[in-house]
Amino acid sequence: MALKPQTALDPAPLSSSTALVRRLPVRPLAGLATVALAAVLAACGQGAGGPQGGQMPPAPVGVITAKTSTVDVSTELPGRLEAIRTAQVRARVTGVVKRRLFTEGSVVKAGQSLFEIDPVPYRAALDSALATEAKAEAVLMQAQATLERNRPLAQAKAISDQDWVSTQASFKQAQADVAAAKANVVQAKLNVDYASVLSPISGRIGRAEVTEGALVSAGEATLLATVQQIDSLYVNFTQSAADAMKLKRAVEAGKFQKAGSAEVHVVLDDGTVYPVAGKLLFSDITVDSTSGQVTLRAELPNPKGELLPGLYVKVRIATARATDAILVPQQAVSRGTTGDTVMVVTPDKQVSVRPVQLGGTQGSQWVVLGGLQPGDQVVVDGFQKIRPKAAVNPVPWTPEGAASAPAAAAPASAASH
């Protein structure tokens, strides 16, 4: 059979695959594309949200594990420092100040001369008193001679009884005049000594209250300067009488052991603890009726003179000892009118509120006496991430200072290499 010649107008012969594609309907192709798109979206969904279908993971919260220990229950109370000895140097004679013999703010010794008041009038008064004494002694000598001369005459009745009595009276009066003259001499010498003003104690002297040329008066006891002994200081502080009685009853009930020492530690304004411990001296026996406070006093060594009288401080004193206490950071405890509470992570990763009983502080931590058990996970950080009935992821909590220390040390070690 003869083939029909192909012309330019005739379409090219179609392959079997091309013809098959042309015969496929359009709707099945759209369905395949939809299935493929769904598969891609499903794969993306598994990569982003995981098998949980896009749910958020449990929020991490910082926790500590509760454990019991023996701790000293301490209390921080407001206090004020006071010099252990204070002497106000005042004028004991009236006169004009000639010289100031010390440097303001320096350390002076007991008996050191501080001021010189013009002594000329008092030296003149001393000379006059000495002259009066000499005159009185001369009169006494004459009266004694007359007495010795008239004694045998009186015994022989050669003189009247009245003359003998007058002789005896003159002698006794002369003795009294000598005694008065001697007392005036002593007073005059004291005034000369008082013209040189001496320091009554050793310590640090403040500013001079008078200058050279100032007239000071013994009658008004003019203040010249103040000397304070500050190698040791008193710490005066107050405590609530109700708290003291509550602690005493707790010790008697066996909840606490009595603290073994009466040491006190002073906390400064910047939060640092003064390195030298003080010793409790006494507690007042009366309660202030207006404030309900009891005054206590401790003695604090101050060998370098770093602390100054009048400084307000916090006094940390160990009042008792708890044997089965649990320490938790203060930020973990919520205090309210209805009681104190903490948040604890349960075994099913939920958070529950737990009431606790506090027994004082130790540094920046609360001493928990009840409400927690050893092994409980107490929430310390991440409170803002906690949601009702939502699981959490407890992670060990690290204080900020401990966390930043290794980070700060790392660059130094790298630099050394």
Question: Tens of pLDDT along 316-336?
Answer: 887 777 778 889 999 999 988
More confident residue, 295 or 142: 142
Percent of the chain that is helix, strand, coil (3-state, to 5): 35, 35, 30
Q: What is the pLDDT of residue 362?
A: 75
Residue 260: its pLDDT value, please? Answer: 56
Cβ neighbours, 10 Å, residue 72: 20
Most confident of 32-46, 53-67, 171-185: 171-185
Instruction: Name residue, tokens 């001393």.
Output: 126
Per-residue pLDDT, 208:
95
Share of the chain above pLDDT 90, in %: 49
373: CB partners within 8 A, 6+ apart: 66
> What gap in Å lies between CA 281 and CA 277, rounded to an integer?
13
Query: With bands split at pLDDT 50, 70 and 90, how would you rate the model's confidence at 251?
Result: low
Q: Are 316 and 267 in contact (CB under 8 A)?
A: yes
Number of other residues whose CB lies within 10 A of the CB of residue 54: 9
pLDDT greater than 70 at residue 393 = yes
pLDDT of residue 167: 94
Specify the range with the lowest mean pLDDT, choosing from 169-183, 225-239, 317-331: 317-331
Rg (CA), the chain: 49
Instruction: Kindly indicate the confidence band of residue 59, based on its pLDDT and cuts at 50, 70 and 90.
Output: confident
In angstroms, how far apart are the furthest CA atoms of the chain? 213
61 forms beta bridges with: 394
- For 90, 202, 255, 327, 364, the CA distances from 258, given in Å and listed in that order, are 47, 39, 10, 19, 22
Tell me what pLDDT residue 375 has. 92
pLDDT for residue 402: 54
Interval 49-62 mean pLDDT? 69
Dist CA 83 CA 307 (whole Å): 10
Residues near 224 by Cβ (< 8 Å), separated by ≥ 6? 89, 90, 91, 114, 115, 197, 208, 209, 210, 216
Torsion 160-163-164-165 (CA) sign: positive
CA 407 to chain centre: 31
Mean pLDDT of 378-403: 83
**What phi and psi, each to the nearest 5 degrees, are found at residue 299?**
-110, 130
pLDDT band of 293, cuts 50, 70, 90: confident
Alpha helices in 211-300 (DSSP H): 241-252
pLDDT value, residue 401 = 56
Whether 414 has a pLDDT exceeding 70, the answer reads no
Question: Residue 198: what pLDDT?
Answer: 96
* 157 phi-psi bin (left φ>0, alpha ψ -120 to 50, beta other): left
Q: What is the pLDDT of residue 384?
A: 87
Q: What is the 3-state secondary structure (H, E, C) of 241-302?
A: HHHHHHHHHHHHCCCCEECCCCEEEEECCCCCECCCCEEEEEECCCCCCCCCEEEEEEEEEC
Instruction: Write down the domain spans for the chain.
Output: 87-226
> What's the half-sphere exposure (Cβ side, CA atoms, 13 Å) at 374?
5
Chain-centroid distance of CA 49 in Å reads 54
Sequential DSSP letters for 6-38: P-TTSPPPPPHHHHHHHHS-HHHHHHHHHHHHH
pTM of the model: 0.59
Convert the pLDDT of each residue in 205-217 to its tens digit: 999 999 999 999 9
What CATH code would you report for 87-226? 2.40.50.100
Residue 282 is predicted with a pLDDT of 79
Instruction: Tell me the pLDDT tens digit for each residue of 99-130.
Output: 999 999 999 999 999 999 999 999 999 999 99
Q: Quick one: average pLDDT of 193-198?
A: 96
pLDDT at position 262: 67
Token pair of 115 as six digits: 């001021």
The stretch 394-415 carries a mean pLDDT of: 59
CA-CA distance, 80 to 112, in Å (whole number)? 30
Residue 288 banded pLDDT, cuts 50, 70, 90: confident
Contact 396, 380 (CB under 8 A): no
